[in-house]
Amino acid sequence: MQSYTEENYLKIIYHLSEISHPVQTNAIAERIHTKAASVTDMIKKLSEKELVNYVKYQGVTLTEKGKLTAINIVRKHRLWEVFLVDKLNFKWDEVHDVAEELEHIQSNLLIERLDEFLHFPSVDPHGDPIPDKHGNFVELAFVKLSKLNSGDNGTITGVSEHSSSFLKHLEKLGLTLGKRIEIIEVLEFDGSVELLVEQQKTNISREVAKHILITKN
């Protein structure tokens, strides 16, 4: 079994693996709010336990065992987020911090029963896929809203930024999961996007558009 801290490292390494291979020490340090020296220490420990492959000065990659562990934590995180939103009426911007704690509860029975109670959801409140108990899940074919052109339309199916301020902003504009949108115009000047949601015209910055994930129709 891994400690709370080890689990957090594995999860962060898993997420960072989608961006760079291998994962750099500094990248981990930044995400986990710690110093590079501490990361090196922990990486050595995880390597000792055969959860990561570590090459000095190069970085780390997860071993199969480490990856399965990480995916299981992600599974728990996302299932708890669904629980909080669906059953306890949390808003999508309120769930992340609590899920960061709940994801470390150790009980297979608990998580399998929770999954069942929630009717085996396939995505979490932010549109992220929920791995099944074997670690399998389907990556949805997203495209960033910032890549669309005028006339394009689609459905909001995810966000790539989970901060409360960002999510609250989207909520206010009515840009929530499942909403259909149509691009009116992409301003050449600053890349901001004018779009239509439920007969309502809205304008969002390029920065915001980058973090909204669309499934085209």
* Residue 126 binding target from its own copies, Mn ion, DNA, none, CB below 5 to 8 Å by type: Mn ion
Structural contact between residues 95 and 125, judged by C-beta atoms closer than 8 angstroms: yes
Size of the site for Mn ion (CB under 5 A): 5
Quick check: 108 binds its own copies (CB under 8 A)? no
Nearer to its own copies among residue 48 and residue 100 (C-beta): 100
63 binds, among Mn ion, DNA, its own copies, none (CB under 5 to 8 A by kind): none
DSSP characters over 121-188: -SB-TTS-B---TTS--PPP--EEGGG--TT-EEEEEEES---HHHHHHHHHHT--TT-EEEEEEE-T
Residue tagged 């890349």 (tokens)? 191
Measured distance CA(68)–CA(66) in Å, rounded: 6
Nearest Cα neighbor of 175 from 141, 149, 151, 201 is 201
| Nearest-approach distance from CB 63 to its own copies, in angstroms | 27
Phi and psi at residue 123, to the nearest 5°: -135, 155
Q: Any residues with CB less than 8 A from the CB of 68 and at least 6 apart, and which? A: 135
Q: Choose the contact partner of 59 out of DNA, its own copies, Mn ion, none; CB within 5 to 8 A by kind.
A: DNA
Measured at the alpha carbon of residue 16, what is the angle toward residues 14 and 20, in degrees to the nearest 5?
120
Which of Mn ion, its own copies, DNA, none lies near 137, with the C-beta cut-off 5 to 8 A by kind? Answer: none
Q: Is 75 in the site for Mn ion (CB under 5 A)?
A: no
Please report whether residue 107 would count as binding its own copies according to CB under 8 A.
Answer: yes
Q: Which one of its own copies, DNA, Mn ion, none interacts with residue 25, CB within 5 to 8 A by kind?
A: DNA
> Can you say how many angstroms the Cα of residue 121 is from the centroid of all Cα atoms in its chain?
15
Q: Does 106 bind its own copies (CB under 8 A)?
A: yes
Q: Contact positions toward DNA, by CB under 7 A?
A: 3-6, 24-27, 32-45, 54, 56-57, 59
Give residues 5-34 in contact with its own copies (rule: CB under 8 A): none
Residue numbers at the binding site for its own copies (CB under 8 A): 84, 87-90, 94, 97-98, 101-102, 105-107, 109-110, 113-114, 117
